[in-house]
Structure 1
Amino acid sequence: MEAAIGAARGLVGREAQRRGVINNPSLEELLHKLHTKVGKAEDALDELHYFIIQDQLDGTQYAVPDLGNTLWGHARHIRHAIHHTIGNFILPFFSCWLLQDDDHGAAAMNDPHNTANPGSGNDGSVTKLSFDRVAMSKKIKQAIEEMHSLCDQFLELLKIIPDHSTSTTIVNLKRPLTGSITAQENLYGRRDLFEQTIKDLITNCTNSNKTLSVMPIVGPGGIGKTTFAQHLYKHERVEEHFPVRAWICVSTDFDVLKLSQQILSQIEEKNSAYKISSLNQLQKSIEKRIKSKRILIVFDDIWECTTQDWETLLAPLGKGETTGNMVLVTTRFPSKVDDVKTTNPIPLKGLEPNGFFKFFEALIFEGEKPENYNDELTDLAKDIAKKLKGSPLAAKTVGRLLKNDLRKEHWMAVLEDNEWQKQKNNDDIMPSLKISYDYLPFQLKKCFSCFSLFPEDHRFSNLEITCFWSALGIIEKDENYMEELSKNGFLVKENDRWSNQQYYVLHDLLHELAQSVSSQECLNIYSNASFRANDVPKSIRHLSITMKDKYVETFRTEMIKLKSKVDIANLRALMIFRKYEEQIDEVIEDTFKEMEALRVLFIEVNSPESLPHYFPKLIHL
């Protein structure tokens, strides 16, 4: 069984990566079927492992003789054989317990505290599952036969697909919320606009008789609004002119209380503001702190806000004794500009061509150009740069893609990729992001796609996401995949203001890409009002609920439909990024009480006693 799973996973990952056949419909259909069968086979193995542990606890031998011990020993042997055969290729989706080292795996079997709880009733009592040797044997035999059949079909299909392994990018795996500090040291292509903005910012404030002015910076996603604002914020003339400054990342969550807490925590240089839950008290503290000093507040990446919320947020900022206080706002939505502006907005478009190409080259070569660059690669680089529409975000991902392989053949393949034909307009950079994704190694693709399950602007710690990937069986624990995704331009590394702890953030367009590439397996319900179960693929295996809007009764109706459409019993991950709410909890209980294959459960509760008791067979957690 382990041999069949290992061979199937290794075959799929290695060959799909080598041959570049991601867009082959026949292969995609076959991969989906094989993926489903392998998942069910792993469920059977995990179930067997549960019964082996239960035998150890009870002093019985229902699962161990003949089947259990033999299979466990065979699994350890096969694991090493597969690694030897496939080399450094990482087997994605391998069960976590199988990837433990031998001593640890054996210890887990003999550890009486390492129980797989199949579930508990409302009274907290544990319900044991009974072991059916005949049924288990049939299940394993059927799973092996089905996987062998699909692998044979897979190999036959690969015979007629060209091998493009010579052009595959090889990455050595051994080797956003935003902040005011930019990782981009130089500002390319906008020097004149930047100097004029500095002049306008200071002149308008100096000559203004207004207490508070609002200057919006507007442009499409990935165009560099945040970077432009960061350079303004850190400029020495701006620092001298505005002694009190704060940088606030807003994004999709416009919560006046939380934003006020952020403002106070920055202007006080303390973290105690988050302990204040009264908006009135927060606003009085802000007003007192800025009373006699000129302030600059940046609200980065505003999506939605009502006029009333905006006016409430700004209320204490306009009560200072000095004039010329300034608020900078960055947004991709022109409609928001009219709602907040008091001065002329700064429209950002693509970088001017010469400055953009210098930026693109800097990302590719980092100052060290190869000898053959001027002869062979210059024209290719310029042609590729034209397709990036002056977008810094597109330049970062595609630039890293070219940097990974400086051969002419690789650059030509990128230039001629069919994905470019899907560009809808001059602001559309999704095709360039998708091309960069397509060239990622297979295991990095699987890691990246999981980001779709998290809320936008989520702060990822290395430990948190590594445990998540490991629980789903995607990775081995000793690989630094986050760092590799960062090197490829898919993540930005930052440090927490107070703890100095390192974390990673994902640009909202890359979050959108993650949702697109994972749409057949991952579902993120971000709005209960607009969620429609009929739009959900039957193949969904991972589900998250990140909605922030108020509960509406149609959500219950749609979740009932979802239960009849998706195989709830075989969901691998359930993540609920919403504070406990009785109505939501009832819907979740009705929908998910039949889950059996769950590997990841994330849920916020008021206390340990309020943990849900309605999951009857969670033996895989």
Structure 2
Amino acid sequence: MEVALGSAKSLLGKVLTTLSDGLVAAYVDSLQLGHNSEQIRDKLLHTQGLLHNAQGSHAGGDNPNPGLQGLLEKLSRDADQAEDLLDEVHYFQIHDKLHGTLYATTQEAGHQALHAGTALRHTLGSLVHFFSCSRTPKTKRDGGSDAAAAVTSRITKRSKANSATAHADDMLHFDRLSMSSKIKSLLLGMESHCDSVSSLLIGGIPRNSTAVVLHRPQTASMIIQDTLYGRTGIFEETVNRITTGTQTETVSVLPIVGPGGIGKTTFAQHLYNDGRTEEHFRVRAWVCVSTDFDVLKLTREILACIPTKDEEGGSSSVANETTNLDHLQRSIARRLKSKRFLIVLDDIWKCDSVDQWKTLLAPFTKGETKGSMLLVTTRFPNLAKMVGTVDSLELAGLEPNDFFTFFEACIFNGEEDKPDHYEDEFDGIARKIANKLKGSPLAAKTVGRLLHKHLSQEHWNGVLEKHQWLKQQRSDDIMPSLKISYDCLPFHLKKCFSYCGLFPEDYRFTSSEINHFWDAMGIIDSNHQAGRDCLEELVDNGFLMKVFDWADRSSYVMHDLMHELSKSVSAQECLSISGLDFRANAIPQSRI
């Protein structure tokens, strides 16, 4: 429903933009629709406003109205066709201006243009006659017959050029009657659908509706995956960084950043519980932030995890009950004044401003002991840049050998659970599946559960060929986990990302290439900075990666799992055809 709401709103916006052109509006007014173009624009603006309010509200939530969904699709189709027709009118109006033709003028404007053209031809003819009939001798001051010849020559050339242009334009025929009929029909249909959609939305949007809150699972510091597969080197390096490499600052902030399901929380849990970490930091606290970055709430949670000083006389409960942020922060500063601490803020999804982050950080900067640390885990590179005081730790997928070891552990509880003749019958299939999962630990867990259900070659080959892991809908499966990030994007970035799925896997595109593509699809206006910024915003949000070649030239590439997500979310608008598994009957009628 969210996509349908956004698409309808976007397409109405394009129609409104085209109707704002004075010439196009005059043409629409000439169609005698019963409303003038201003009234049509008002109705479209009203519906667009309702669609905007409905986006993210309960009207587009988990139980969408099927009737509203159908009406939105009809409204979108009408708006799309109306935009194309109005653009065609606009094209011929520009053509009229350039070439003096009368294809797309309104009747009134056409008569005016005709009279103006006649007057111009009469004036030019008089001038030519004047110069050609003049008997004044040629002097330096007066060009005489040379001037007349020059004017005559230019008019003759222009006449020939116009004649050639008119001949070339014979292929671009403007049928006013047919065009008027189509535009009238479509705009009347849009009006009708706008009324129906408005009626449903007005009754379906709750007052003061807010965006649907994303529900994320709570995390804790207790280790649930005993073995940290394939990250031994980077783990040892990170332990050294937080215990010996940051001793000159009172507190440092180390972001751990990576896409959903890459293992950030697992990595942080192992860091938190490592013996060297426990020995180095006198106070440790773990707080799951998730999508609710509330400074007061987070400050209270952190304070509750910090032991009370003896001199405070057990005032912890009183401190946690207050809603006075100043009192809470001063309590934290007192308790940590002479202690080295490690605070983990896991799974941060947003922080509205640098000032909001500095407010949360303030009490941790007042200590007397050097070398304290805040670990922050997040999916979003831009957030990591904002909060980090040291270089971010970027987690990527596991290396193939390590990943396959982990993958087998996800399928079987132990070696004894492997079926007989596993090496001969199943190992090859498992390796083929593993290659498609691109090193993602969460993907390994998702597919491992699938394979564990039926230990048969037929089932495993079916999983391999049909990519069944992309269809799993549990909240802890790979696609739903990745889609949560997509759901948080503003609509224009959702559109930009979804169309990236039309490029092949691992395709590296330039900024100019993708922006021209988005512009051609009508998603952005490349003449405005906001359009050009979309690419960097997708990088900052972790949907694209910026890479550099040997000459330091930048290009952009999408992780394979993000590419699958892009194809998944664009399935209602785009169709990707692979030569490997193409079936003609898989093409919906709406795409033909």
Shorter-chain TM-score tier: 0.3 to 0.5
Greater RCO, CA 8 A, separation 6+: 1
Give the structure-1-normalised TM-score.
Answer: 0.41
**By percentage of residues, which structure has more helix?**
2
Q: Return the TM-score normalized by structure 2.
A: 0.43
